[in-house]
Amino acid sequence: MSLEGRRVLFISYNGMLQPLGQTQVLTYLRELAKRGVKFTLLSFERDNAFTPAGARECATLKDELQRQGIEWHWLRYHQRPSLPATLFDVVRGIRVASRLVRKNEIELVHAEEILPAYVIYDLAHGRNVATIREWLREQRIWTAGRFGEWQYLNMDHSMASGKAAAEAILADVSA
């Protein structure tokens, strides 16, 4: 299976103007776009994206991503009241995503929200992680970063883990 020419909708509840969007989403999408994956990105941006300065920042990033082969769309993230705001965002996101799937003839949808957190170990951590990794490898699922490695990684190690995962995916796809 080749990634080249595949059309993917990547939905992130994290904003692309936020550090997690910049480091954990855009880094991966840019590398895979270099390999010919056609990304449509839908993100939920925080209030700062809707200020005059934020609008300029969004326009600049949108142009930059477009040149890199990534079509970016964003919606406003609503925080409060928590449950109704999240439900509103989900419904609106589904409506926009459905339109993008039809318009761009999307083949694959990936949705995620990255929550910053610390990994907490228990006595069976090593055995449990080995079991999970074995099953994931059988499913051809690659993991990376703090959450995917199931260990506390600093940013530089998380980035290296993501790069290694992208290289493994590319090697597997081209085999």
Residues 77-98 pLDDT 10s: 999 988 899 889 989 999 999 9
Matching residue, tokens 């005059």: 52
Complete domains list, the chain, with CATH: 1-116 (3.40.50), 117-175 (no CATH)
Backbone angles phi, psi at 120, to 5 degrees: -115, 125
Is 93 in contact with 75 (CB distance < 8 Å)? yes
- Predicted confidence (pLDDT) per residue in 150-172, tens digit: 777 788 888 888 888 888 888 87
Beta strand pairing call for 38-45 and 70-76: parallel
Asked if the model's pLDDT at residue 117 lies above 70, the reply is no
Asked if the model's pLDDT at residue 118 lies above 80, the reply is no
Q: ∠ CA(36), CA(38), CA(43), 5° rounding?
A: 135
What pLDDT, on a 0 to 100 scale, did the predictor assign at position 174? Answer: 63
